[in-house]
Structure 1
Amino acid sequence: MRSVPYRPEIDGLRAVAVLGVLAYHAAGIVPGGFAGVDVFFVISGYVITSVIAAELSRGEFTIARFYERRIRRIAPALLATIFVTTIGAAIFLLPADLISFGKSAVAATLMVSNIGFWLKAGYFDAAMQSKPLLHTWSLGIEEQFYLFYPLLLAWLWRRRPRAVAPVLAGLFVVSLAAGIVATDALPSAAFYLAPFRLWELLLGGLIALRPVRRLEGAGAAAVGALMIAAAFTFYGGATAFPGVAALLPTLGAALVINGASKGGLVARLLSAPPLTFVGKISYSLYLVHWPLIVFIEYRQGAELGPWQAAGVAALSILLAALSWRLVEQPFRRPERFGSRRALYSAGAAGAAVCCLAGGVLVVTHGLPSRLPEPVLAAYSAHGDRWNEERCFIDTDGSGGPTPAEIRAGKICTFGPADRTTADFLIWGDSHAHAIAPGILAAAKRFGARGYFVGAGSCPPLREFDTVGVRPSTERRCAETNAAVLDFLRTHKVGAVFMVARWTKYAQGNEYGREGMMFDPAKVPGAVPGEDAKLAAAMDETLSQIVAGGEKPVVVMAVPEPGYDVPYSVAKALLQRTPPDAIAPTLEAVAARQARARDILTEETEKDGGLFVDPTAALCGPVVCPVEQDGQLLYSDADHITIGAALAISYIFDDAFRQIMKGSR
């Protein structure tokens, strides 16, 4: 017997949520479809709270029964998905990605994958297209919420019944406020961690406990449906999410749930058999669709085409229906593993198998013996980065010195230890971090001593706002760069190497959708006004450096392949296709660099600085190769490897001759 009446429109709302997610992931035709996950959270909070409240009111609720239902509902399809996806990962993924997958398989099995993905989030993190279990972060949030929620609700119901709604409302407000603040200050934490998301589940719970009578009816449901549609339509990759933006789809879902309880047009539409069927299989559909997309895109190195997206959607629905029928349904029946002990034993055994499989992938270092040696050598360039991470401030604020430490001169120092004075400072974004080994190698030849300060997505400019970065990153850049300029006022360094991805800042965009999904035919045009903004910021910054007695050395951005070079070359070798096909032509590089080059050379000459351009050292007369003598020159789509930086270190010799001549 059902503890709460069945509402078919809730299954219809589940269908809307999962189809939004599917359309967003497979085809990108619903730019805000990712908000479907937030609709799921509200539905989950509503349904689970309704069941718990009904059982508490009858005096039938027990924690053991609650977790038995959760295991029957969640574990079978999840464990089956993890196990089958592990087999696919062992076939398709390259070693480093397979190691990461193994860790995520263990984390997903233990319902903590959201924490694992949060810990790995950062500037140099792997692309989402290499993470087949990335979508399990939302399950982690739900299950972490349900570890404490039924206990709290049951205790309040029995001991402080009048406090149930006020306490849950208070938790809702605290979590929402924390989520809004964290979305700006700690965006990865706000996205992945339960404390910043539990308000969404509590919203559903509050609707279950205290439905708003004045908002019951077709009108409220219609408004809610329009709110969800607006989020799906107008949100996108640039939306700061969750934060305030998450209120639109979640309040919309709450209005639909609350309003459709009395029937009406929205309730009838959502109760249509096709939608209720998709709603019934929505859990399995959510589980199976993302691994399929990842494996196909990973294999072909490009986004799904329209027909592929349609095929993946159809196949996902078919597999989800089979999973629902053959995996989900049988395990929900009490006669299957009738005793709790048998159920727990079966669940523990399945979890152990998935954890063991994931662990094997980690301890074997991604099963490298599967692949030919040239493929492994190419792919290993992904880790070919300068290991001085202590010097570099990531986009999430981790690593590197604080602004106070920068001002005090407590920053990374290189060169002869017996020197008490410094000759130079390397200052810039992640491209400064990438090319620093080359600059330092040249410095060593001349006996120079210097400093390094670098921050992800932060060009070495005073008060420059980069298009597309989060407000928290903008603030971090402003604080870091202000600290560097303060440092230069109190510390004599002789010369300042200013290194950045200048092409990005001059045009206001990256080089298309870079990395695994790069398509040279889809490179967007420049954002109007960004070049003038760069010129003004460069003029002001150079003037301040020169006024302090330092010589600016502006280093041009390296050529950008756009393709994730280690991935692309490794896959080309596996598929026996020419790896040099991804090398950009010199003509394309020149066109991409033209505006930035004009600005940098003009501003540098005006202030008597030096201009160093690595393009000639990295390019031939026709193309700019991505490998030389069997060694890759790039660690991703635009950062050069340590080997490449060392190979072109000679281009800095003239600069150091002038720097050291002036210091004597």
Structure 2
Amino acid sequence: MSKREWYRPEIDGLRAIAVAVVIAFHAGLGLPGGFIGVDVFFVISGYLITSIIEREVEEGRFTLSNFWDRRIRRVLPAATLTILLTLIAAYYVMLSDDFRSVGRTAVSQAFSGSNLLFWKTINYFTDTAAGLPLLHTWSLAVEEQFYLLYPIGLLVCYRITSRRGVAVGTILAVGALASLALCAALTYWRPRAAFFLLPTRAWELLLGALLVYWDRTVRLRRRAIREGISLLGLALIVASTVLISESVPFPGLYALVPCGGAALIIFANSRQHEDDLTASGAMLATRPMVFIGLISYSLYLFHWPILVFSRYWMGRSPTTSEALIAILLTVLVSWLSWKLVEQPLRGRGVLRTKSASFTFAAAAILAVAFTGLMAWKVVPGRYESIEALVNRDSRNIVDDSVDVEVADIATDRVSRFGSNRPGAIDLLLLGDSHARAAIPGFDLFARSHDLRGASITHSALQPLAGYRDPSRRAMVTDSIEWMNAALDFAARHRIGMVVLAAKWDDAFTDVGTQQFQELLTGTIERFQKAGANVWVMLSVPVYESAVPRLLVKDKAHPSAGLAGQWRQSPQQYDDRNAPLLSLQERLRAMEVGILDPRPYMLDGDTAKFLVEQDGASMYSDASHLTIPAAARIVPDMLENQLYRSP
């Protein structure tokens, strides 16, 4: 058997592209669909695993123990190292709750189950997920579950079929189609399940497996056809990184594009057609591409913890230059991991026998599980005393789980605040969870002025008539129906004062400045036609990381030279909120009032906004005020601004 038959350098080059686009996406370097690199990895994995199994079955030397021995040597050493180093780093860098979260993830991944944990707890594309240094292990869990089940299923297929190639290929095709259909359905119905679970990802691995059987039945003799297919595959992958984004329902049918691209490249450059590669295949087989491909596993393992910890430490996303430095560090660490861990343990030099390999696996699993369990349940966080002071009020917040739904609005089951006297509702507060966080301040003000207030708030829903969030943050409640119900409520109760409050940048980031301004003014006009005077409340300063976390970091590491640098300045606020601030004159011309919390949050000494009060954080996270902070800021704002206009 020639080297070309069992080693395909262009596949290492394809690995290089896959890991590069994933890293670029995670580093914020302008590839909105870079996460599709994981899908490319799945196709490659399915192809290579099936090739190995098929070849060894034909030669009469395949055993499950040999297969799992190779998987242990290939996957476990570097993964174990990454998880243990991440746990150590998390202890020194992260706050107690975040450190415990890393421990919990480590325990689940010790048994190849982190994807199940994430399925139940997070959305991959949220800020919360971006702070989990072991988030990327979900894909390892999917592959490991596949490695456990797939060879057994394949052997069963071999036993029950006589025409192995055709029959097994047909069975795999049926399985892939069933998985794809489930994936397409759950992407809309249960998007987290579709993203994280093996049954909805199996078709990507099975697509790679099918290539092994297609190789035997389809021959591409004309070089021009092979060149075109390979180039098309490369184009599909590149296009996916640009045209697919977080707002696209993924994986679903959209995942066919990058997966199909990977399959076309592998198929067009197969040894079954000709011994030489296509032009695009030859490009993938160049030495730099192959080198990146060879260390791609360690690159994938280490890049995410390095990026997460750098963001965590700085309290913001890295600049381009900082991201590039983090990537260079990742390459160095990954090369060392490949050279000193992957290569020695993959061969027979260290783990000489299968027994040694399986013993190592048991020890690695126990080490990760035990260390993770200690971090999760036993070891106290390094900064607990500081956290106790900073977080004194951070959990003193309005219940963020109480969303007012369409049915609640229709039956007047909305939240009430202010005076308990009988009579009509004087003031309606309408908005998202940030409006809800301001309710304690509205309540104090309304009580002092004998006003009856009502609030209609829903997490992740903007108070904009005709707006539907394209990024799918709110997938259960229809935002258009919700706003229509709120408009009907205001008209039905003849409410004279309406305050619209939200984290407005969610909307204008999604739809752009012009459409946002049209939506806001259109909403105001509808309330005005119903007889209401309208105020728009600007959002409080919003940070990239949780403010309590940043404050603890500052107090725990005062010599780091970063203390307070993350606090927002008025100019930074203006730049972030320009689409709304530029609309102020037009709003005033419409006789709309502006409620601005900034004057009551500005620190005159530093010319930056306040984030703590008597040592305690004024924020519960990156953008929501605590009850004490809202009670301090909002009443003064309303006292001075509510009755000025309109």
TM-score bucket of the superposed structures, by smaller chain = 0.7 to 0.9
Distance in 2 separating the partners of 1:299 and 1:492:
50
Aligned to 1:571: 553
Amino acid at match of 1:639: H
Q: 2:472 aligns with which of 466, 470, 477?
A: 470
Q: CA deviation at 1:259?
A: 0.3
The 1:481–1:566 alpha-carbon spacing in structure 2 relative to 1, beyond 3 Å, is: same
Deviation (angstroms), 1:174: 3.3
Q: Deviations over 1:597-622 (max 9, x none)?
A: 445555565xxxx8654344334676
* Equivalent position SS for 1:197: helix
Instruction: Map residues 584-663 of structure 1 onto 2, 5 A cutoff.
Output: 584-586=568-570, 589=573, 592=577, 594-598=581-585, 605=592, 612-619=595-602, 623-651=608-636
Task: Give the match for residue 461 of structure 1.
Answer: 464
CA distance in 2, matches of 1:623, 1:500: 22
- Quote the residue 2:308 is aligned against: 294
Could you tell me which residue of structure 2 aligns to residue 515 of structure 1?
none
Structure-1 residue corresponding to 2:371: 357
Identity, % of aligned pairs? 34
Whether contact under 8 Å (1:450, 1:493) holds in the other structure is no
Q: Are 2:197 and 1:197 aligned?
A: no
> Partners of 1:481 and 1:334 in 2: how far apart?
65
Say yes or no: does 1:179 pair with 2:217. Answer: no
Matched, 1:509 2:491: no
2:630 maps to amino acid: A
Q: How does 1:282-321 map to 2 (within 5 A)?
A: 282-305=296-319, 308-321=322-335
CA contact (8 A) 2:39 2:258 kept: yes
**Conserved in 2, the CA contact under 8 Å of 1:554 and 1:611?**
yes
Kindly tell me the number of residue pairs found equivalent between the two proteins. 621
Contact 2:383–2:552 at 8 Å: present in 1 too?
A: no
Correspondent of 1:241 among 231, 240, 250: 250
Aligned CA distance change for structure 1 residues 5 and 442 (closer, same or farther; 3 Å): same
Is 1:557 matched with 2:559? Answer: no
* Paired residues of 1:113 and 1:137 also in contact (CA < 8 A): yes
Say if 2:550 is the partner of 1:533. no
2:397 match:
386
Specify the code of the residue in structure 1 equivalent to 2:344. Answer: P
Distance 1:321 1:559 in 2: 44
The one-letter code sitting in structure 2 at the alignment partner of 1:469 is S
Q: Give 3-state SS (helix, strand or coil) of 1:427's partner.
A: strand
Who is 1:254 aligned against? 263
- Rate the CA distance shift 1:335–1:218 in 2: closer, same or farther, 3 A: same
Instruction: Report Cα offsets for 1:462-521 as digits up to 9, x if no partner.
Output: 21245x52396497322333444566677898875543234654xx139xxxxxxxxxxx
Alignment partner, residue 517 of structure 1: none
Determine the structure 1 residue equivalent to 2:170.
166
| Shift of residue 430, structure 1, vs aligned partner | 1.9
Decide whether the 8 Å contact of 2:236 with 2:257 is kept in 1. yes
Q: Against the structure 1 CA distance between its residues 88 and 584, is the aligned structure 2 distance closer, same or farther, given a 3 Å change threshold? A: closer
In 1: Cα distance, 2:103 partner to 2:600 partner: 40
Looking at structure 1, the residues matched to 332 and 83 of structure 2 have their Cα atoms a distance apart, in angstroms, of 18
Aligned CA RMSD, in angstroms, stands at 4.0
**Structure 1's 414 and 107: CA in aligned 2 closer, same or farther, altered over 3 A?**
farther
| Farther-moved stretch of structure 1 (132-141 vs 622-631) | 622-631
Pick closer, same or farther for the CA change 1:83–1:209 going to 2, 3 Å.
Answer: same
The match for 2:218 is: 213
- Residue 73 of structure 1 and its aligned partner are, at CA, apart by 1.9
Alignment partner, residue 93 of structure 2: 92
CA distance change for structure 1 residues 471 and 627 in 2, over 3 Å: closer, same or farther?
closer
Cα distance between partner residues in 2 of 1:302 and 1:582: 8
How is 1:413-562 mapped onto 2 (pairs within 5 angstroms)? 426-442=429-445, 452-466=455-469, 469-470=471-472, 473=475, 476-485=478-487, 497-502=499-504, 505=507, 508-509=508-509, 527-544=513-530, 546=531, 554=535, 556-562=537-543
Q: CA deviation at 1:131?
A: 2.1
Q: Is the 8 A contact 2:597 2:637 kept in 1?
A: no
**TM-score, normalised to structure 2's length?**
0.82
Aligned residue for 2:133?
Answer: 132
- Seen in structure 2, the aligned counterparts of structure 1 residues 529 and 150 have a Cα distance that, compared at 3 Å, is same
Which amino acid is the alignment partner of residue 142 of structure 2? I
Is the deviation greater in 594-603 or in 256-265?
A: 594-603
Residue 291 of structure 1 and its aligned partner are, at CA, apart by 1.9
What CA distance in whole angstroms lies between the structure 2 residues aligned with 1:356 and 1:387? 37
Match status 1:80 vs 2:85: no
State the Cα distance separating 1:143 from its structure 2 match. 1.9
1:435-475 Cα shifts (integer Å, max 9, x gaps):
12333455566888766543233122321245x52396497
Q: Does the CA-based 8 Å contact 1:123-1:456 persist in structure 2?
A: no
Distance in 2 separating the partners of 1:431 and 1:307: 33
Distance 1:219 1:509, change over 3 A: closer
- Asked whether 1:224 is paired with 2:233, we answer yes
The CA distance in 2 between the partners of 1:653 and 1:306, in whole Å, is: 41
Deviation at 1:356, TM superposition (A): 1.9
AA paired with 1:627?
E
The aligned counterpart of 1:661 is none
Q: CA deviation at 1:647?
A: 1.9
In 2, Cα distance between equivalents of 1:123 and 1:320: 24
Match of 2:368, SS?
helix
Q: Residue 74 of structure 1 aligns to a residue in which SS?
A: helix
Note the C-alpha offset of 1:204: 0.7
- The one-letter amino acid paired with 1:569 is L
Say which SS state the counterpart of residue 87 (structure 2) adopts. Answer: helix
> How high is the TM-score relative to the length of structure 1?
0.80
Which residue identity lines up with residue 438 of structure 2 in the other structure? I
**Structure 1 residues 487 and 108: alpha-carbon distance in aligned structure 2, compared to 1, 3 A threshold:** farther
Name the counterpart of 2:338.
Answer: 324
Could you tell me which runs of 5 or more consecutive residues in structure 2 were left unpaired when the two chains were aligned: none
CA distance in 2, matches of 1:39, 1:627: 46
Letter in 2 for 1:327: V
Q: Which amino acid aligns with 2:53?
A: I
Deviation (angstroms), 1:128: 4.7
CA contact (8 A) 1:391 1:411 kept: no
Instruction: For residue 357 of structure 1, report the CA deviation from its aligned partner.
Output: 1.7
Q: Which residue of 1 aligns with 2:383?
A: 371
Q: Tell me how far apart the structure 1 counterparts of residues 610 and 70 of structure 2 sit (CA, whole Å).
A: 58
Aligned residues of 2:392 and 2:616 also touching (Cα < 8 A) = no
Q: Which amino acid aligns with 1:199?
A: W
C-alpha contact (below 8 Å) 1:423/1:449 kept by paired residues: yes
> Matched residue of 1:138: which SS?
helix
